């Protein structure tokens, strides 16, 4: 893995690159999540792919985009500059950006716009955190939950403008931020804590043809906690999209 810097309108973005294959992926992490939490799965993917990861984590930045549209513009430029024509793979908020991008997309447990009050969404997140702390998400889940909670709390206190506006922007009807991809595979977690099955059904029910939904049994953070499954599913989806 090597890292280079990219200046996007004054925002200094670290760009990590794994592998050297002619088959390239742009990998987009969950909102504010540092790429290191995905490294176990990225290491496996790099056996086949060149994987480009922009670091848009709360840990690395004091300033970040404040809307999905602004994030999408950044991701589009990163893709154009470092991996033109590559499929986008994303988890959670990154999966939503992959679907909004318009090109080939592999979306893992995507975040979707949902008109849910902030306290209720925090409650859903807290239940996921509790599962991790109890060891129900595997050994790495305990460590990940503690680190991501630290990153979120620190950002919320010191730089709230990079946390709350983007979360609030997703508190909209499911018709907002509709997928633009005509060629996408979505791994939808049947046990997702952040979105109810009916919320997913409403959002994806309006999607254009070309978006294939594949139910998986794991919880929301399976791309982090199950690196082998991440590798297997991305490989499968890439071959299907190709």
Higher pLDDT among residues 102 and 40, named by residue:
40
User: In this predicted structure, what is the pLDDT of residue 162?
Assistant: 94
CA atoms of 205 and 174, how far apart (whole Å): 10
Three-state secondary structure call for residue 90 = strand
Q: For residues 6 and 134, what is the distance between their CA atoms, to the nearest angstrom?
A: 39
Collapsed DSSP state (helix, strand, coil) of residue 109? coil
Q: How far apart are the C-alpha atoms of 222 and 220, rounded to whole Å?
A: 6
Residue extents of the structural domains in the chain: 2-241
**pLDDT single digits (tens) 49-69:** 999 999 999 999 999 999 999
pLDDT in tens, 139-155: 787 888 888 889 998 99
Per-residue three-class SS string for 175-222: CCCCCCCCCEEEEEECCCCCCCHHHHHHHHCCCCCCEEEEEECCCCCH
Whether 145 and 45 have beta carbons less than 8 Å apart is answered as: no
pTM above 0.75, yes or no: yes
DSSP-derived 3-state class of residue 102:
coil
Longest dimension (CA), the chain: 45
What is the per-residue pLDDT across 62-113, written as a single tens digit (0 to 9) for each? 999 999 999 999 999 999 999 999 999 999 999 999 999 989 999 999 999 9
More confident site: 220 or 143: 220
DSSP states of 20-62: --SSEEEEEPSTB--GGGGHHHHHHHTTT-EEEEE--BTTT-S
% pLDDT > 70, the chain: 98
**Could you tell me the fold of the domain covering 2-241?**
Rossmann fold (3.40.50)
CA distance 206 to 158: 38
Contact 76, 84 (CB under 8 A): no
The token pair that represents 212 in the structure block:
């294939």
CA 215 to CA 139: how far, in whole Å?
A: 24
DSSP 83: S
The token pair that represents 161 in the structure block: 């403008």
């Amino acid at each position: 893995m090597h890292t280079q810097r990219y200046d996007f309108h004054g925002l200094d973005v670290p760009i990590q690159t794994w592998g050297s294959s002619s088959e390239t992926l742009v990998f987009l992490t969950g909102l504010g999540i540092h790429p290191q939490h995905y490294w176990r799965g990225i290491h496996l993917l790099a056996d086949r792919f060149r994987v480009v990861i922009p670091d848009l984590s709360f840990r690395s930045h004091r300033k970040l985009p404040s809307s999905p549209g602004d994030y999408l513009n950044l991701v589009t430029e990163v893709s154009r500059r470092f991996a033109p024509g590559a499929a986008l793979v994303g988890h959670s908020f990154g999966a939503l950006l992959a679907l909004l991008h318009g090109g080939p997309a592999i979306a893992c447990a995507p975040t979707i716009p949902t008109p849910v009050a902030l306290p209720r969404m925090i409650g859903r997140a807290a239940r996921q955190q509790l599962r991790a702390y109890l060891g129900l998400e595997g050994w790495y889940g305990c460590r990940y939950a503690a680190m991501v909670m630290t990153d979120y709390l620190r950002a919320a206190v010191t730089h709230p403008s990079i946390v709350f506006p983007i979360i609030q922007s997703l508190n909209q009807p499911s018709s907002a931020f509709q997928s633009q991809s005509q060629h996408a595979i979505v791994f939808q977690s049947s046990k997702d804590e952040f979105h109810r099955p009916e919320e997913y059904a409403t959002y994806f029910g309006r999607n254009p043809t070309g978006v294939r939904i594949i139910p998986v049994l794991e919880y929301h953070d399976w791309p982090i906690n199950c690196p082998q499954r991440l590798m297997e599913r991305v490989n499968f989806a890439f071959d299907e999209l190709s």
